Structure 1
């Protein structure tokens, strides 16, 4: 068995904890690259994406690798989730630390009305 990177170990640990406490709620998954940030709300029971937002969407202003862009994505995701009828989710940060852009996205989504 190959040795896992620290990122993969964190990702597996987070995902295992989420499955234990999800309670049937959809999962808000975050991916952060060097240039952009992506977020989607996934229904794991049905195996489909309910809502998605990223810093690549047409309404985005400026570069996508900033805290401000992440907050904008969080607000857009919360608005789209309300329109889709989703109010409560579990937050899946993947293997990323809850800091900087990931934290800004989460805070903006909470302000937009998502509960987690």
Structure 2
């Protein structure tokens, strides 16, 4: 019998995270989480174990509360790029987790690149 969707997601998440951990040591990690209603992103320094910046559609001032679409992802990507620059980060690597690089995750990454963040 085949694997469930959850098991496939977890395998994909571990494969992506382990590959990135080997290749991109020393740079902060841009971790993306997507749910049915919201999308959030954190800029994490794994060496010190702390979050440098974060952005989410759950923030009321961004005006996308409860929305997970390409427009919301674009706004979150621009916001995290601005906040990363304020934190002194201009280069990081994208940890998409188990999510495919498609749709909202791609829109978020493209917007962060346009905002000046090198992924």
Tell me the TM-score normalised to structure 2 length. Answer: 0.91
* TM-align CA RMSD: 1.3
Distance 1:67 1:17 in 2: 27
The equivalent of 2:99 in structure 1 is 96
Q: Which of 53, 56, 64 is equivalent to 1:54?
A: 56
Structure 2 gap segments, 5+ residues each = none
Aligned residues: 114
Distance 2:53 2:100 in 1: 23
Indicate conservation of the 8 Å contact 1:55/1:69, yes or no.
yes
The equivalent of 2:13 in structure 1 is 11
Runs of 4+ in 1 over 3 A off after TM superposition: none
Indicate conservation of the 8 Å contact 1:64/1:70, yes or no.
no
What are the residue-to-residue correspondences of 1:1-116 with 2, within 5 Å? Answer: 5-62=7-64, 63-116=66-119
Structure 1 gap segments, 5+ residues each = none
Deviations 1:16-56, CA, capped at 9 Å, x for gaps: 11111113000000000000000000000101100000011
